[in-house]
Amino acid sequence: MAYDVIVIGLGGMGSAAAYRLAQRGKRVLGLEKFTPVHTRGSSHGGSRITRQAYFEDPAYVPLLLRAHEMWDQTERDSGERIFHRVGGLVVGPPDSGAVAGSRASAEQYGLEHEVLDALETRRRFPTLHPALTEVALHEEGAGYVVPEAAVRAHLGLARRAGAELHFEEPVTHWEQGRVTTALATYETEHVVVCPGPWAPELVRDLGIPFEVERGVQHYFTPKTGGFDDHPVYIWDPAEGHGFYGFPRIDGAVKVAFHHGGEICTADTVDREVHDHEVDAMRAATARLMPGIAGAHQRGATCLYTNTADRHFVIAPHPAHDGVTVACGFSGHGFKFVPVVGEILADLAIDGATRHPIGLFDPARLRGGA
C-alpha cells in the first residue's frame, strides 16, 4: 500500500502532524522507534511551560496565540486534560534578556501582563525572594502543558481520523517517495521528518550542525507551603545560572536549569541523575526560592536538540522534493506542538502555510547558501 504521507517520529511534533494530516483526509503512516509516549526523547517529564510574552523573539507570538487556541480544541476533541492556566512569572533585572524580551513581546502584541517590583512580587508570591533590583513580569494566561497527555491525545485523534501508526519500528533510511524501516519498505508521496534528538543522524544532509544537550529535571518535596496554587516561573538572575519551574504537581515541585548541560547523543546520553547535579540545583535556588529544595524525590533526563541560534527548523527539505522537516527546537518547542502540526500539514499538502515561519528557514544556518 502506498501512503499520501509518512511521518517519521511520533513524539510531540510528529503525533500532531499525523493527526492534522489524517484529519484532512490523507492516508497517513506514522513510524516511531519506541513505544507510544516514551521517555527517550523530549516529550516527557510531566510538564512544559507555555507562555505568549515570548522573550526569544516577538516573531513567535502569532504562533503561540494559535497554539493556545489549538490546545483548548485538542482537549475538547480528545478528552485529555493538557493545558493548565496557572499564570507565569519571568523574574530578573529589568534589563535582563528574559524580562526585557518578554516585556517587548507583550507590548508589541498587546498581551495582558503586569510588571511587579521586588516588594510587590514578594507580597503576592511569597515563595519568591527577588533582590530589590529585580522585577517580575506576570502573565496571567501562561501556564503549563502535560507533554505525555498531549502526545497521547494527538495519537488517539490521529487513529480516530484514520492514520496507521507503527511503534517499535525504527526507520533505517528515507528518501523522496520511500521510507525503509527494520521491518519493511513503504512508498509515499510525501515524507515528514520529526526526528527530535535523532536529527543529527536522520537529517544529516540538511548540512546543519545540531547539538544534542542533556538536561536534568529535578523533583523536590518543597520545604514550605505555597506551591500548590503557584504560577510557573523563569528566573534570569544577574548572577548565577537561571532556572525554571512549576507548581506542585503529584506531590512534587519540578525545577531545572535551562541549557548548560552536557553535549551527548540520543543513544549514548547518561540517564542517571547524580548527587552533584542535585547539589547544584539546591545551590541555584537557595537565595531566589529557598522553599523549593526539600527532599529530592527523583530526577529525569531530557534532551534538547539545539541549533546555533536556538531558533527552530521547519521547512521543506532544500535537497529533496516531497520532504518536510521539523527539528532543532532547542529546548523551547513543546508549547508550539499543535500549531507545528498544522504547519507541517500545510507544507505537506499545499507546499506553503499562512503561518509566519521565515525565522525557521534552514538556509540561515548554512550561511544563506
Tens place of pLDDT for every residue, the chain, 369 residues?
699 999 999 999 999 999 999 999 999 999 999 999 999 999 999 999 999 999 999 999 999 999 999 999 999 999 999 999 999 999 999 999 999 999 999 999 999 999 999 999 999 999 999 999 999 999 999 999 999 999 999 999 999 999 999 999 999 999 999 999 999 999 999 999 999 999 999 999 999 999 999 999 999 999 999 999 999 999 999 888 899 999 999 999 999 999 999 999 999 999 999 999 999 999 999 999 999 999 999 999 999 999 999 999 999 999 999 999 999 999 999 999 999 999 999 999 999 999 999 999 999 998 644
Angle at 234 between CA 228 and CA 218, to 5 degrees: 65
β-pairing verdict for 243-249 and 232-235: antiparallel
Q: What is the pTM of this model?
A: 0.96
| Residues sharing a CB contact under 8 Å with residue 281, sequence separation 6 or more, in sequence order | 216, 218, 243, 255, 256, 257, 293
| Cα distance between residue 362 and residue 366, in whole Å | 7
With residues binned 3-state (H G I as helix, E B as strand, rest as coil), the percentages for the chain, rounded to 5, are 30, 30, 40
The answer to whether the CB of 245 falls within 8 A of the CB of 232 is yes
Nearest to 191 by CA among 182, 180, 201, 183: 180
| Cα distance between residue 228 and residue 214, in whole Å | 28
The end-to-end CA distance of the chain, in Å, is 37
Helix (H), strand (E) at residue 178: strand 178-181
